[in-house]
Every structure is written in structure tokens, then in C-alpha cells.
Structure 1
Amino acid sequence: MSDTERKIADTRGQYLLAVQGGQRLTDADWRDCRIVLTNQRIALIEEEKRQIPLSGIDRIADRFDVNQKSASVADYLALHVEEDVLLVSAADQDGFETDFYRAALDEEVIFVRHPAIEGGVVQDTEWTKGRVKVTDRALRLALADGQAVAVERADIGSLTVEERTVSGAERTVVEVEHSEDGVSVETHLAGEGLHATVLEVMLAESAERNRADLDLSNTEQRVIMALHSGVSPFDVPEFVGIDVDRTEEIFDRLIELDAISVVRERTEVQLTSKGRRVAGQGVGER
């Protein structure tokens, strides 16, 4: 992290001290405050100022409902700091959370494997270092080998998190599925401490928003699988064994369900994050 402290956000909000010294405070209530976020700390300012160095945050979470008062607020960020837990809710929570992700991750270096999987095929890709930048729409990575990788937050299909040894140390590995030029790829990210927990929460939140909940027929599922395996939309009728009119009807339905999107002409389509999730679930069931 840069030695020069710079302000990232200054907004109004509220906070609730849910745990203090390891003890859950079931009578805790929200306190109005000014929230000042820099690349080094978060300050919660009311009559007194409570300052939390970002380096002192052990992990973050999106929920920690200690009582009904905390459960009544739809969106907040839970900061775990040693034996304390503070819940922070801003007037523009989405904007504040992105600012927090930026404060924790921008210009930091993590380990990256890209692409770890491409088009369903495992790649022989080594771990390399990558410098991180967070925007409203994407997690951007500048890799040591010169690659520039963008993981669009609205394009994440699935997410897996596990502990693994990377570069001789135990690290949290986040395996995120997204797309590049219409092809499904997986990018693996490895970090420690605050970097790891922020990556996990940020990308898991995006994956949850994109989660598919589709009721597809067997034929519609086969169309999804065909597109996922690289079959051209023009070849889908012959590959699946249905006529062109039926294929067009299925494309119409999948477009309405946001499982595919039109690329150029009416019949040229590609899978969205929802469609890739359905395909991934289909692969796992076979």
C-alpha cells in the first residue's frame, strides 16, 4: 500500500458495534456518523472519532445480525477487527462498498493464474503476480507477463473458494468464471489477509447477483450445452436435432431469460453469466 494517505470517500451513514472484546452486544443500536475512508484507514466520526486501520481488519462479511436492530438494515459491511465486530452502513451502500474494495485492493499485488481454464479445458498456466485495480464494473489485473485481464463484475458466472499452497505459502484461492470474447474462462486469484477476504466478498456478491434460477426443458438445456461447448448458433439445429424454427423459439426464450445475448444478427448469440452457470451445473450433473 502507498505510504501517502489519500481520501477515497467522505459520506454520511451509521455504524453499530456488534461485538466488543469478544462479547456479543445484543442491546447494540445504530449510531449516526460521518464515514471517512482513505487508502489506509476508515474513520467513523460522531462526537468522538473511531479510527480503524485497514491493516487491522482481519476479515469482512456482508451480514452479522447480532440483534433485531442490525437485522432491520438491508445492507451493511461487517468489519472484524481482532475481538470486535463493527457494522457500517452508508447512505449509498453500493458506492461505499466499491470504495472500500478500492481502498483495500487498488495497487496491491496478488497471485494470478489466467486463464486457468478456457472453454472448459484446463490450461497449463503458471501462477504470476498481478497488480489490482477495482472499478464500479470490473476487477482489473495488470499481470507481470504483460497481460491485461478484466473480470467484469456483471459477467461472473460461478465462484469457488478454497485454501491452497501458492508460491510456498498457504493462501486463499478464489476461482472465478467469466468470459473473454464470448468464451468461458476461469481466472484464479490467490491472496492473504484482508486482500483475500475482500476479493472473496466482492466477487461472491457479484456472482450471487448473477445467479441463474432458470426452469429449462431438456431441449433448452441441450441448446445451452451446445453453445457452451463452442457450437456455432447456426449449427445448433443439426447438433441438437431440432428444426430451425424450434431453435429460434428457444433462442427467443433464452434471450428473455437473459441466458444468452444477441451478438450481431438475430441468430448469433453467446452465453451470459446465467447461461454459463446453467451449463456448468449441467456438466456437474453428467
Structure 2
Amino acid sequence: MSETAVADFVGRFHTADVESAEPVTGRILLSHKRLVLATGDFKTTIPLSNVIDINLGTVPPALAEFFSDTVTIAYADGDSKRTAIIEGKGENVERFKTVFFKVLLSGQTVIVKHPAKRGGRVTDAGDRKMKLKLSEGTLRLDGNGGDFEIDLGSVTSFGREKRNLGGKTRPALTVDHASGGTTLSTIITLPNNRKLNLLGRFLKLEYSELMEELEDLTFTEEQIEALVTLYSAGGRAKLQDLLTGDVNETQVILDQLRDKELIEDIETGMKLTAKGQAVVSDHIEDVNM
């Protein structure tokens, strides 16, 4: 591979070129143009322009017993759809996923409307062309009309719909995310459907990770009340703004929320974390149903 590699390591993988059912150990190289999986006997080359989808932990049943943590890549090969499964451990899988999506999507020119809504209310923001940049935990948009970032841990929901952007109706992603104690909605469209699907997959993986972290948490009415009060105060507040009774009882509740990583201390008091924002958003949705 003549172009510069952005990832180059030895690992286990399985592709259509592997004759056995079991994975093999070989070299894994990723550049800005292709992914190459090679052993001394064969080489599988996947042009990045052919990548259709990426997932974590999804392995065909026949191969499930051979793998632990995985990245599964679906790609077009002529008229066929094939998959390549790459194994990693813990943070290595997460790191490779981020690098792979970054190579696929960073630098793309996108059309953005931001914020399309603020606190649920439609704004008069116009659409503009910007450059998409991905990094670990962050989706950044640079260019026309001011740069901004979306903390991927703050994404509370997203969906796909058709919107009028750039003078015509296009498929787009609407991303709801917490920012400064309120919820913003950002609408993004990419130049083709394949890349829009890949960005949607990236957001889904990040959102799923946040939801998994929240699944095992339980909340008392007092804890929810404190989170909603903090949300209503703009996401940031001092202790006295949250007092609804005895100060010691309030401190206990806040300590419980800190332990669950739902709030954090700042110079001016405390604020909701992305996880805390997600809990409040779910609560508000349940109340409004």
C-alpha cells in the first residue's frame, strides 16, 4: 500500500478469502483509500468507497464462538455484499472504530442547519455548507457562519427524515443534543446516501453506548426532581437554587447524582453531565406521552 497508513497492527480477522471457519492472524492496514487485511497466503483489499456499514460486536452465528470484541465491516464487492470481521480488545476496538469512521467521513462537505430548534422551539437559522470532522467523542462542523461541536455523549436522540436543505429536498439526519442546559436540534445532510448512512451508524453506536450506561441505573423521585430542577435552571445552578427542603438531605441526593456521573461540580456551582441530560430528556418524554 503506497499511501500513508493511519492504522497498522497485527490482529485476528476473517474475510471471504479465509478458507477455514476460524479467524486468522495477520496484518491490518488502514489508509485514507483502503483497508487491507493480509497474511502470508492472501490479501483482502477493501476500497473505502465500497464500505456500506460498520458495527460492533455483530458476528455471523457460525463465527461467534471464535471472536470476542469485534468490528464488522460490510462492503460491496461487485454485485455481492461481503463482510470483514476484525477482532480487538476493549479500548482497541473503540479506537479502531473511531479512526475508521474518521477516515471515512472527516473532511466531507455537508449542509447543516444549526440550531434548527432550541429547547424544542424552531429557530430562524439558515442552512450552510460546512466541513465535517470526527474525533473521539466529538462531531465538529467547521466553516461558513461559525464553527461548533457536538459532544457525542450529549446526543439524546436522532432520526432520519427528508428536509429542504440547499434548495432541494434531501435525506438528512436530525440530531438532538444537550448544550448549556438545553436541547439543540441540528440537521445534517451529506453528499450521498451511503455516507449519510455511515454517519447515522456512527451516531447510533455512540448513542447506544450512552444508553447502555444508563440501563442499570435506578432513580428515586427526589433524584429526578433535582435533575429536572437543574435542567430548568439552564443546566447550571448553585446549591441554594436546588434546595427544596433540608440542606443535608439535598446534599445526600446531590452526592448520589455525582456518584452516578449525572452531575458535576463547576466554579459557579454544578451542572448536568451528558448522562444527566439524557435522563432528564427521557423523563420529559415519558411525562409528555
The SS at the match of 2:177 is strand
Residue 15 of structure 1 and its aligned partner are, at CA, apart by 2.1
Over 3 Å counting, the alpha-carbon distance change for 1:201 and 1:222 in structure 2 is: same
Alignment-derived partner of residue 8 in structure 1: 6
Aligned residue pairs, count? 270
- For each residue in 1:70-127, what CA deviation from the matched residue of structure 2 results, as whole angstroms up to 9, or x when unmatched? 3552322222223212222346322221211121012111222222333444433233
Instruction: Report the RMSD for the aligned CA atoms in angstroms.
Output: 2.7
Residue 87 of structure 1 corresponds to 85
Alignment partners' CA distance in 2, 1:269 and 1:258: 12
- State the SS of the aligned residue for 1:87: strand
Q: 1:59 aligns with which of 53, 73, 85?
A: 53
Alignment partners' CA distance in 1, 2:109 and 2:284 = 33
Structure 1 unaligned segments of length 5 or more: list them.
Answer: none
Indicate whether 1:269 and 2:275 are aligned.
no
Equivalent position amino acid for 2:150 in 1: V
1:174-231 Cα shifts (integer Å, max 9, x gaps): 414132x454433333334442233223222222332323321222212111111226
Q: CA 1:283/1:219 → structure 2, altered by over 3 Å: closer, same or farther? A: same
**Maintained 8 Å contact 2:170/2:189:** no
Q: Distance in 2 between matches of 1:196 and 1:134?
A: 14
Displacement after TM superposition at 1:38 (Å): 0.9
**Structure 1 partner of 2:64:** 70
Matched, 1:30 2:5: no
Question: 2:255 matched to 1:252?
Answer: yes
Instruction: Classify the secondary structure of the residue corresponding to 2:196.
Output: helix
Task: Tell me how far apart the structure 1 counterparts of residues 193 and 47 of structure 2 sit (CA, whole Å).
Answer: 14
| Whole-Å separation in 2 of the counterparts to 1:129 and 1:74 | 41
Give the TM-score taking structure 1 as reference length. Answer: 0.82
Could you list the structure 1 runs, at least 4 aligned residues long, displaced by more than 6 angstroms after superposition. Answer: none
Return closer, same or farther for 1:170/1:224 CA change in 2, 3 Å cut-off.
same
- The letter for the 1-side match of 2:275 is K
- The percent of aligned pairs where both chains have the same amino acid is 21
SS in 2 for 1:76: strand
Give the aligned partner of residue 115 of structure 1.
115
- What is the TM-score of this pair, normalised by structure 2? 0.82
Contact 1:114–1:188 at 8 Å: present in 2 too? yes
1:223 aligns with 2:226: yes
Q: List runs of 5+ in structure 2 lacking aligned partners.
A: none
Deviation at 1:9, TM superposition (A): 1.2
Match of 1:161 in 2: 159
Structure 1 residue 138, shift from structure 2 partner: 1.9
SS in 1 for 2:69: coil
Tell me the residue number matched to 1:199. Answer: 199
Deviation at 1:141, TM superposition (A): 1.3
Structure 1 contact 16–70 (Cα < 8 Å) conserved = no
